[in-house]
Amino acid sequence: MPVRGRLLIAGQIVVLAAVYYGAAKLGLLQQLVRGQVTPLWPPTGVALTGLLLFGLRTWPGVAVGAFVVNVTLGGPAWIALTITVGNTLAPVAAYLLLRWAGFHNDLDRLRDVLSLIFLAAFGAMLVSSTLGTSALVLSSALDSADFWPTWSVWWTGDAMGVLVVTPFLLVLRAPHRPRDLPPARWAEAAALALCTLAAGYLATSTSHASLLFLAFPVLIWSAFRFQLFGATTCALVFSTLAILAAARQVGPFGHHTLLGNMVTLQGFNGAIALTALLLAVVIIERDRTHAEIQRLCARLTELVGPDLPGSGSGSASGHGLP
């Protein structure tokens, strides 16, 4: 490999490690369990996005970033190493499963979204949660009775990182990101942003859990009008506001145990992420199918021409009508 190619790979590894570390520090600000387990772990989404964009050869960036993060949390080195192995293997497994499934980074097909949900988020993230929680129990840093509650928070946090962060990052560099919008569409985008913040604040700051459903009309609006870019952005905003409320134990997350708060929070985050992805991609496929039908109709008209059976001129001349 040329020196320039090696330098490029090295640069990608360094960038991935640095972004992973920064995303981890942001995620740890909202930790709920032992300073290490968060309801949404952004580095997982960053790691998977980096592998999808740069290739599997950049996995050392994930490992380095994860190890530095875990070492700074304190505790025995072997625990940090074990958790690092899980944090690295999970996105690598997700990458391999997605490539095996023929995943497209543009997320413009329903099969791509389903692969991201079931293979990457729900499947591959079992690796990191199992290794990490087991390491904490074996080191006596975590009581064995807390294994499953911690495991579930860890697993759902990694899964939410994949479902919320990865689509948003992929859409940022995708060709269907909205550009050159007319003034009316910019005004609509601004109105959508304001409604997203308002609905998110009302839903997460009041004690009535039923108000969480205020997010869904706005989410549907964003998916129909701005497709993946709008839907993934709104989902990220709603999830962030919900996590901030859960960390402060306010709103619908202020009168429950940790388990009750996590069920409400992750139920909301999961519903938001799945609705955003599935609705947006269904609209994309609908529009693509409609455009293909129009193209075929135009092509058929060109091939057959205007002299179709029953056309006005041919029918009149053939029967001597005036």
Tokens coding 72: 């700074």
Give the residue, 305 or 308, on which the prediction is more confident: 305
Give the residue, 82 or 322, on which the prediction is more confident: 82
What tens digit of pLDDT does each residue of 48-72 get?
999 999 999 999 999 999 999 999 9
What residues form DSSP beta bridges with 37?
33
Mean pLDDT over 193-204 rounds to 94
> What does pTM read for this prediction?
0.89
Tokens coding 88: 């690295």
Res. 306: pLDDT tops 70? no
- Distance between CA atoms of 205 and 144, rounded to whole angstroms? 34
What tens digit of pLDDT does each residue of 206-253 get?
877 778 889 999 999 999 999 999 999 999 999 999 988 888 888 888
Mean pLDDT over 117-121 rounds to 97
Q: What percent of the chain has pLDDT over 70?
A: 89
Give which of 189, 191, 182 is closest to 230, Cα–Cα: 189
Give the residue, 178 or 8, on which the prediction is more confident: 8
What tens digit of pLDDT does each residue of 257-301 get?
767 778 888 899 999 999 999 999 999 999 999 999 999 998 888
What tens digit of pLDDT does each residue of 159-175 get?
999 999 999 999 988 65
Tokens coding 276: 């955003």
Res. 316: pLDDT tops 50? no
